[in-house]
């Protein structure tokens, strides 16, 4: 029997209204992603990539359609339950990393665990484990401004993994990185998928990443322009 | 008549009047000497308290004694008549700025031979004071009845004005502080909007954000309160209020003053952070990240 998909969307639509003006950001998106899969979402600017990630991450609600995360519908959840989804079930890595400047690397990684109510000991142990995984041992007390762009992205990945989510969403993870750092980040993602079976969805402009990704989705004007191609 | 009121254990007449002491003005209290111990907690610094209705004898409060430079055994002029100072007393209250003479003498001096300006009464049960005051007001509607703590403002128009001004200033300053701190909190939180958006994006709930803001505000409020109380204490040591010519009353600070001030400061800091906390907790991370 086939394993339950980590994420599934049915006829997902998102429309924005600005007065009488209607903008269709997403139109009839159907997706199904399984455990340990890496999906690249690509397309031109304004094609709906970030909107899709924000919907899948529980930041926003669709105008119509369904999002099922581990078989549970999140598209009609209230704000409180969506906060818990963002904290425990989904990790998010933002284009500009979105680290809190006033907090150290260790504190940034611990944030989601703090909101989850983990103890100091649990947070410290998990943070040490994650910083080791992303190659930032020894930089626990550094502030984000003391790190390179690549290192900041690694902190953001560590934070996204803190509460052991089954799904991690990355919005333009290599958008601010050079080629070497981009490859290093993608290698890190690949290692995490192999080691922990985490599912990744990456929205990107980087064609090199798209070509090396087994599954990809091309978005154009809010619609899937090419079917999901699986190389597995 | 006052003694007949149920719940009163002690009552004695007191006549208060502004008089000229040497060349200065002073508040004179005419009391029944035999009832002084029940009326007033005092200790003698030098000499003795007046003990009879004898004319020509008076006792000076410690601060007034220091102000006019007279002590036990010295002659002083009260409304132009020579008196002898029997002793100097200490009460640690506004009475230290006054002079005590026999009640009958005070009655003659102000031309109120069979009357008195005031009757001081003690309630058997301190929790029953308001009830006793109510009974007196019913029984003697032309009399004014009030608590002893209100005496300074009732007998001195300066105190009454100062109390009124102080209350008005407190209300204005409190309102100003609430609005000012609220505005400052809002600006401060707006500058940190991105950090709060990150908190929400990483799973903080609406309530957790509100708690964070309130804790931070109360922490700053506590720090500000402690510094403010310290500065106030230091400054108030050098401030005194003139009650009559050449006589000023120093502000006596008691622990309850600091307690009320601290409670007011905490309340201001809490009130001023509620609206900003509710506002920042509604932040939508996706909008902050996309549009700044």
Residue holding tokens 């009974």? Answer: B135
Residue holding tokens 């905490």? Answer: B266
Using 50, 70 and 90 to split pLDDT, how confident is the model at B166? confident
For B204, which of A92, A96, A115 is closest by C-beta distance?
A: A115
Q: Averaged over A5-19, what is the pLDDT?
A: 91
Task: Work out how many CB contacts closer than 8 A connect A with B.
Answer: 56
Which of the given ranges, A13-22, A114-123, B113-122, has the highest pLDDT on average?
A114-123
Contact A94 B289 (CB under 8 A): yes
Residue spans per domain, chain A: 7-99+165-224
Q: Which of residues 142-181 of B touch A (CB under 8 A)?
A: none
pLDDT, residue A201, reads 95
Contact B206 A59 (CB under 8 A): no
Q: Is the pLDDT of residue B292 over 80?
A: no
pLDDT in tens, B225-237: 899 889 988 888 7
Q: Is the pLDDT of residue B208 over 70?
A: yes
Tell me the nearest-neighbour CA distance from B160 into chain A, angstroms: 52
pLDDT, residue B245, reads 54
pLDDT in tens, A207-228: 888 888 888 899 988 888 864 4
Contact A80 B205 (CB under 8 A): yes
pTM score: 0.68
* Average pLDDT along chain B: 84
Q: What are phi and psi of B216, to 5 degrees?
A: -60, -45
Share of chain B above pLDDT 70, in %: 90
Q: Averaged over B195-211, what is the pLDDT?
A: 93
Using 50, 70 and 90 to split pLDDT, how confident is the model at B247? low
pLDDT, residue A232, reads 41
Q: Averaged over A137-159, what is the pLDDT?
A: 93
pLDDT, residue A226, reads 63
Q: Is the pLDDT of residue B291 over 90?
A: no
Q: Are B71 and B88 in contact (CB under 8 A)?
A: yes
Q: Are B203 and A86 in contact (CB under 8 A)?
A: yes
Q: What is the ipTM of this complex?
A: 0.88
Q: Is the pLDDT of residue B110 over 90?
A: no
Q: Are B251 and B92 in contact (CB under 8 A)?
A: no
pLDDT, residue B187, reads 86
A interface with B, Cβ–Cβ < 8 A, is 50, 54, 59-60, 79-80, 83-84, 86-88, 92, 94, 96, 98-102, 111-112, 115-116, 159, 163
Alpha-carbon gap, residue B258 to B253, rounded angstroms: 8
More confident residue, A178 or A123: A123
For A115, which of B197, B202, B285 is closest by C-beta distance?
A: B202
Helices (H) and strands (E) in chain B, counts: 10, 10
User: Which CATH superfamily hosts domain A7-99+165-224?
Assistant: P-loop containing nucleotide triphosphate hydrolases (3.40.50.300)
Using 50, 70 and 90 to split pLDDT, how confident is the model at B38? confident
Alpha-carbon gap, residue B169 to A32, rounded angstroms: 67
pLDDT in tens, A55-87: 999 999 999 999 999 889 999 899 899 999 999
Q: What are phi and psi of A140, to 5 degrees?
A: -55, -40
Q: Which among A100, A86, A106 has a CA at the least distance from the CA of A168? A: A86
Q: Averaged over B92-96, what is the pLDDT?
A: 80
Q: What is the DSSP letter of B149?
A: G
pLDDT, residue B152, reads 66
Share of chain B above pLDDT 90, in %: 21
pLDDT, residue A230, reads 46
The two beta strands, A90-93 and A167-171, are parallel
Q: Is the pLDDT of residue B238 over 90?
A: no
Alpha-carbon gap, residue A226 to B8, rounded angstroms: 96
* Average pLDDT along chain A: 89
Q: Averaged over B1-23, what is the pLDDT?
A: 80
Q: Does B245 reach chain A within 8 Å, measured CB to CB?
A: no
Alpha-carbon gap, residue A47 to A93, rounded angstroms: 19
Using 50, 70 and 90 to split pLDDT, how confident is the model at B155? low
Report the range of poorest mean pLDDT among B58-62, B122-126, B183-187, B212-216.
Answer: B122-126
pLDDT, residue A143, reads 95
Contact B201 A98 (CB under 8 A): yes
Tell me the nearest-neighbour CA distance from B208 into chain A, angstroms: 8
Q: Is the pLDDT of residue B241 over 70?
A: no
């Amino acid at each position: 029997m086939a394993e339950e998909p980590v994420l599934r969307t049915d006829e997902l639509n998102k429309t924005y209204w600005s007065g009488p003006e209607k903008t269709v950001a997403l139109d009839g998106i159907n997706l199904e992603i399984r455990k340990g899969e890496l999906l690249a979402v690509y397309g031109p600017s304004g094609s709906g990539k970030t909107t899709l990630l924000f919907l899948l991450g529980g930041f926003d609600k669709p105008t119509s359609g369904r999002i099922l995360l581990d078989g549970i519908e999140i598209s009609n959840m209230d704000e409180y339950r969506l906060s818990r989804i963002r904290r425990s079930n989904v990790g998010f890595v933002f284009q500009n990393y979105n680290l809190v400047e006033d907090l150290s690397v260790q504190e940034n990684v611990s944030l989601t665990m703090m909101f989850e109510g983990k103890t100091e000991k649990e947070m410290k142990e998990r943070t040490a484990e994650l910083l080791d995984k992303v190659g930032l041992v020894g930089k626990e007390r550094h502030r984000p401004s003391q790190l390179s762009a690549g290192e900041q992205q690694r902190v953001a990945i560590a934070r996204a993994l803190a509460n052991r989510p089954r799904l991690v969403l990355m919005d333009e993870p290599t958008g601010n990185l050079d080629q070497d750092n981009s490859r290093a980040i993608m290698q890190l993602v690949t290692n995490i998928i192999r080691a922990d079976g985490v599912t990744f969805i990456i929205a990107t402009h980087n064609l090199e990443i798209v070509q090396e990704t087994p599954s990809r989705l091309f978005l154009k004007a809010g619609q899937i322009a090419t079917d999901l191609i699986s190389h597995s | 008549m006052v003694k007949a009121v149920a719940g009163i254990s002690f009552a004695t007449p007191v006549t208060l009047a502004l008089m000229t002491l040497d060349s200065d003005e002073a508040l004179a209290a005419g009391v029944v000497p035999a009832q002084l111990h029940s009326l007033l907690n005092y200790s003698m610094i030098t000499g003795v308290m007046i003990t009879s209705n004898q004319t020509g004898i008076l006792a000076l409060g410690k601060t007034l004694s220091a102000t006019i430079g007279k002590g036990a055994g010295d002659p002083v002029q009260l409304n132009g008549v020579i008196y002898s100072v029997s002793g100097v007393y200490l009460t640690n209250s506004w009475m230290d700025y006054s002079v005590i003479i026999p009640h009958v003498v005070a009655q003659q001096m102000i031309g109120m031979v069979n009357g008195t300006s005031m009757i001081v009464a003690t309630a058997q049960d301190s929790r029953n004071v308001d009830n006793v005051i109510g009974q007196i007001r019913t029984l003697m509607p032309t009399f004014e009845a009030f608590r002893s703590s209100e005496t300074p403002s009732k007998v001195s128009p300066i105190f009454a004005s100062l109390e009124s001004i102080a209350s008005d200033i407190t209300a204005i300053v409190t309102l100003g502080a609430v609005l000012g701190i609220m505005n400052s909190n809002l600006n401060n939180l707006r500058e940190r909007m991105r950090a709060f958006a990150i908190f929400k994006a990483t799973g903080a709930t609406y309530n957790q954000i509100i708690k964070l803001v309130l804790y931070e505000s109360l922490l700053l409020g506590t720090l500000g309160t402690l510094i403010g109380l310290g500065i106030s204490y230091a400054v108030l040591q050098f401030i005194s209020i003139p009650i009559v010519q050449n006589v000023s009353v120093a502000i006596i600070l008691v622990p309850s003053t600091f307690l009320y001030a601290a409670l007011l400061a905490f309340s201001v800091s809490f009130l001023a952070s509620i609206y900003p906390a509710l506002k920042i907790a509604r932040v939508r991370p996706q909008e902050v990240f996309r549009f700044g």
